[in-house]
Chains A and B, each alone.
Chain A
Amino acid sequence: MTALTPPLLELRDVHKSFAAVHALRGVSLELHAGEVHGLAGENGAGKSTVVRVIGGEHRPDAGEVLVDGEPVHFSGPRDAQQAGIAVIHQEPTQFPDLTVAENVFMGRQPLRSFRRIDRAAMNRRAAELFDSLGVPIDPGRITRGLSIADQQIIEIGKALSADARIIVMDEPTAALSTVEAERLFRVAERLASNGAALLFISHRLEEMYEICQRVTVLRDGSLVTSSAMDSISRDELVRSMVGRSVEQLYPERAADAGDEALVVTGLRRAGVFADVSFSVRRGEIVGLAGLVGSGRSEVARAIFGVDALEAGTVMVGGRRLPGGDPRAAIEAGVAMVPEDRREQGLILDLSIERNATLPRLGAVARWGLVRRSAERALASTWADRLGVKRRRVTDPVATLSGGNQQKVVLGKWLATEPVVLIVDEPTRGIDIGAKVEVHALLSELAASGIAVLMISSELPEVLGMADRVLVMHEGRLTAELSKEEATEEKVLQAATGGTE
């Protein structure tokens, strides 16, 4: 059947650039009815751009998108939806002020006479939808405050209610527990068996092997390979994604742990995390793993003092931090590189030097005035040490690539000469070359005696970098594994609350 009928959706030699970044270079892809198609690749490989092109958010610079063998030109998400495409985004996109049912049916609400919205029918259909998914969410409550897993279910409900026949799932399982993910797979299989075409993106390769029939691998915006799932081995898949053997991504380093630099005991914040106790020694990299929403970043924010604590103590170098006071944390020698560098780590419109010296203005100021020459010297020193590729230190940070932006954030904090460095998702969204450099840098910093706490959603990164791995699930530490003990399976099991 698939050989005769055209694919439901096809990309032909699609190119897409954003300013200097060539995000897609000639990507082709075929989605057939009844098939779950995996899309694999490292962060920054171009998967999200493919998703946006299919979803009508981006127009390709060159190449064609075909639906049912006919070329289409989407001028916006609505066109894509009308063509039967539904995109379930990595970050759920809800209307927090509206009810669950309204979120599901927005723009497609069932109507009564005079084009009035039939609220009763809408709530009933939403309830039926969630029942069929096995997650009865109250359709009448507002969406604000729902867990990411629940929000994801709403997104899936949206796609189902729109009778979409081409469904793109961008890392839908990133925040789901094993049970929830399994349930999602059953739903996906059922959709496929009803004749829909699915594009499934995941970082967990075993999931791909479980539900995908075909897989396409992207690397640096280019198509590397596309093959039947059962004819590609796991090793081949990883190699085609990474483009080099995995060992090269992570530096060799001998852990030479010193005194305990950071000791936290009994941290608690109601509904977010509880009973979190651990320590990080000088010279050690400790990985903090867990699913999105498990409370990792929140723990980091609490240690740094951005969020207040309800119970527990944070000790840095033997001194207790007052809590809820980032300034005191900085003075005690804690530095934090936040999860979202664009939102929290950088002021994009300011120059590299301004960004780099922000936490250290005292050192470059005299009589309360910032001395430009001292500022420039300090910024240049760090930019050179970190290998930030830039034209001038006076250029706005926005002009740098993701990897180089991340280096500026690191440099900014390293200029404070910290004892404890907390990095949250240090390599999210940066290319592989820059990733290797960031890893080398972190490893160098640990070797110089800094205690590094690294939060990462990328398991290989945690396993490759960390001397010890802490795993969180639903706000609690569920495992502490040494480098030798830590395997992908063990970490995932602890992260999803599995007990077997």
Chain B
Amino acid sequence: MATVANAPKDPFGTFTAPKGSFRAVHTRRKGCGVIKPSAKESAFAGRELGIVVALVAVVGAATIARPSFLSGQGIHDLFLNASIIGLLAIGQALLVITRNIDLSVGSVMGLSAYLSGQLFLVDKDLPVIVVVLAGIALGAVCGAINGALVAIAKVPALVVTLGTLYVFRGIDYAWASGTETTQINAYQMPQGFLSLGSGSILGIPHLTLITLVVLAITAYGLHNLRAGRELYAIGSNPDAARLAGIPTGRRVFSAFVISGALVGLGGVLHAAYFGTINASVGTGRELAVVAAVVVGGVAIFGGSGTVLGAALGALLLTTITSALPILGVPAFWQRAVDGAALLVAISLDRAFMVRLAERLRAERAVRRAG
């Protein structure tokens, strides 16, 4: 044992490749495969670029129809609209990357929004930060419940969160009907809390700033921390992840808790922004969130995608929603257009994967022939 432990890190310092080695092949490969080293990175940069192009097209068309769409106020509104859904999409992306999903986000958001209103009913002088933290904590607990069922009880996330979607919403309704106030209005909440939702710094809405900070932190963590890369590994090949010694259950559980906390934060921000809270806040949001994530290029079977893409996906979808009435499309077409965007995104992904597979196969053919 000692001999091994003391052996130099690279035991092959003097190891020479056998005759007819692959060195020659490699140089040739390098030559023909200039695109290859960045196959992955370029794919994602391409995807995010694609969303930006689509955004520019939508904004451009809407601006031609109504120039004020691109005014300072217009841009301000676009980002504001996308902020909460973007926050949820970032959390959802963490889960989808690990080949999981959370359909209960709308209900969790409703619970957390209702909790913030109730807290102010109890004590209007409660510090805003306490309410924010309470909402985050509630979301994290809901996420922990989902995560425990998925990671420990090994029930598929789709089923677990479909169940908790109804359970959490049920709790929300039961809670609201158990109190005398089923709807909490802006006048019942302190001004400091409402300005969290409506205020801005240097023209950038608070909500957008919060989402951007969360985006920066999660993007950084996913890219630079071991735990972040392990989320990708789990989604890419769960069995191999286990064999590589990754604590897959713990990582998936953590992803659910983080996502839940972000949804909890989203609920509080929703309360602060709209100022009106009842038990149906967030109903149906889960589908918009999943759509944003998929449009943003996160593979639904895990392993690839970025939180930046997911956030951009949310921005694109909300921008399309804002642009439709301006472009003269009746509001009831909005859902259909969201769906169409989703289908286009998935078709593009599929086409890209097929092309990548063909290219890799062709490369191998070249190597074999060469």
Contact indicator A132/B10 (Cβ below 8 Å): yes
Binary CB contact string for chain A from 327 to 348 against chain B (1 if under 8 A, 0 otherwise):
0000000000000000000000
Per the bound structure, the CA–CA distance linking A190 and B236 in Å amounts to 33
* Bound CA span A96–B241, Å: 12
Given A138, A163, A165, which contacts B36 in the complex, CB threshold below 8 Å?
A: A138
In the complex, A217 has a CB within 8 A of chain B: no
Please pick, from A128, A187, A195, A271, the residue contacting B362 in the complex, using a CB distance under 8 A: A271
B16-24, B131-139, B153-161, B286-294: which lies at the interface: B16-24
Q: What string of 1s and 0s marks CB contacts (under 8 Å) between B216-245 and chain A?
A: 000000011110011011011101111111
Residues of B within 8 A of A33 (CB): 1, 3-4
Min CB gap A378→B, angstroms: 36
- Complex Cα distance, B223 from A116, in Å, reads 9
> B1 near A117 (CB under 8 angstroms)?
no
Contacts of A98 in B (CB 8 A): 40, 229, 232-233, 236, 303
A115 at the interface (CB under 8 A from B): yes
The CA-CA distance from A8 to B2 in the complex, in Å, is 11
The answer to whether A271 touches B3, judged by C-beta atoms less than 8 angstroms apart, is: no
Residues of B within 8 A of A147 (CB): 364
Place the interface of chain B in its size category.
35 or more
Query: Dominant SS at the A interface?
Result: loop
A179 vs B224: C-alpha distance when bound (angstroms): 38
- Give Cα A183–Cα B9 distance, bound, in whole angstroms: 20
Contact of B368 among A102, A194, A475 (CB under 8 A): A475
CB <8 Å contact, A107 and B23: no
Q: How far is the CB of A175 from chain B (nearest CB, A)?
A: 14
With contacts A96-B237, A96-B303, A475-B368 taken as known, whether A134 is within 8 angstroms of B1 at the C-beta atoms is no
In the assembled complex, how far is the CB of residue A86 from the closest CB belonging to chain B, in whole angstroms? 11
The residue of chain A having its C-beta at the shortest distance from the C-beta of B22 within the complex is: A135
Q: B18 to A115, Cβ gap below 8 A?
A: no
Binary contact track B184-196/A, C-beta < 8 Å → 1, others 0: 0000000000000
Residues in A with CB closer than 8 Å to B77 are none
Flag if A134 contacts B22 (CB, 8 Å): yes
Q: Is A317 an interface residue (CB 8 A)?
A: no
A/B interface sample: 24 pairs, CB < 8 A: A55-B243, A77-B242, A82-B245, A95-B233, A96-B303, A97-B236, A98-B229, A98-B233, A106-B230, A134-B16, A134-B22, A137-B26, A141-B40, A144-B357, A145-B356, A145-B360, A163-B9, A182-B18, A190-B15, A191-B11, A195-B3, A270-B365, A271-B365, A271-B368
> What are the 4 tightest A-B residue pairs by CB atom distance, in nearest-first order?
A145-B360, A134-B17, A78-B245, A132-B12
New A-B contacts (7) at CB < 8 Å, excluding given A98-B232, A135-B26: A93-B240, A95-B303, A97-B236, A107-B245, A115-B226, A145-B360, A271-B368
Q: Contact residues of B with A, CB < 8 Å?
A: 1, 3-5, 7, 9-13, 15-18, 20-23, 26, 29-30, 33, 36-40, 223-226, 229-230, 232-233, 235-237, 239-247, 299, 303-304, 356-357, 360-365, 368
